[in-house]
Amino acid sequence: MNASATTARTSCVLRRGGHEASYLPSAAAHTFFHEWLGQQRNLSRHTVKSYRDTWRLFLRFASNYHRLPIVELSLSDLNASVVLAFLQYIEKERKVSIGTRNCRLAALHAFFAFVAHREPTAVAQCAEIARIPTKKNSRPAMCYLEADEVAEILKQPHRSKIEGQRDHVLLAFLYNTGARIQEALDVTPAAIRFESPAQVELFGKGRVCFIKHTPSFLKQLRE
């Protein structure tokens, strides 16, 4: 297929109810996920996966909302009213938390901001979606364990078995480094330094690298 045919196909127009609505170009979604998020923004695979899951849910919802197959949805079908209805749906029907709701909205904001820079005729629609605010979420009081409570937890794994040794090391690692579970799972042998200064290299959210100095724990781990 030549370039002009490809352009004509991408710009295909559907007449529905006397109005014209351009199809949502598949190229836009491909560029957003594979080039914009992955290459230009260099976002983590976890963020890309979260955005992908959001769009899977959103397109299914929009398809049911308009009673149209997903392949027939146009960009104009994905307006602010549909986004608001989608957010209400995931809160009321899917029972997601406010935090998850805001994450879904962030994924939609990112895509329509991307579209606004590439499709001038959609700027007003994208701006309306961009004005949809995140919802405030009350934060619960911080809970923590006392040192003796942590010690009791660390005694629970049966260290006479290999599984118990594994569980003990993981729990002790989380306590001594303050790492999130995903940060701990991402640690490689190369990230652990046993020689002085003993330290562990962790990658947090946004792939921010930070160093945890835990000489006493690493000494026990090596032994």
Domain span including residue 198: 147-222
**How many Å apart are CA 56 and CA 87, to the nearest integer?**
14
> Interior CA angle at 193 toward 191 and 197, to 5°?
135
CATH number of the domain encompassing residue 213: 1.10.443.10
Residues 126 and 156 in one domain: no
**In this structure, is residue 141 part of a structural domain?**
no
Task: Answer whether the bond into residue 69 is a cis peptide, omega within 30°.
Answer: no
Do 19 and 122 fall into the same domain?
yes
Lowest mean pLDDT among 28-37, 121-130, 157-166: 28-37
| 152, 141 contact by CB (below 8 A) | no
Report pLDDT digits (tens) over 155-198.
899 888 899 888 888 888 888 888 888 888 888 888 888 877 77
110 shares a domain with 22: yes
- Total domains, the chain: 2
Mean pLDDT of 89-117: 93
Q: Residue 106 falls within a domain, yes or no?
A: yes
Amino acid at 74: S
Q: What's the whole-number average pLDDT of the chain?
A: 79
What is the Cα–Cα distance from 87 to 164, expressed in whole angstroms?
43
Stretch 66-89: mean pLDDT: 92
pTM, 2 dp = 0.61
Residues 108, 208, single domain; the answer is no
- Tokens 């993981």, residue located: 170
Inside any domain, residue 89: yes
pLDDT of residue 147: 84
DSSP, collapsed to helix, strand or coil, labels residue 150 as: helix
Kindly report the CATH number assigned to the domain that includes residue 30: 1.10.150
Lowest mean pLDDT among 92-96, 148-152, 197-201: 197-201
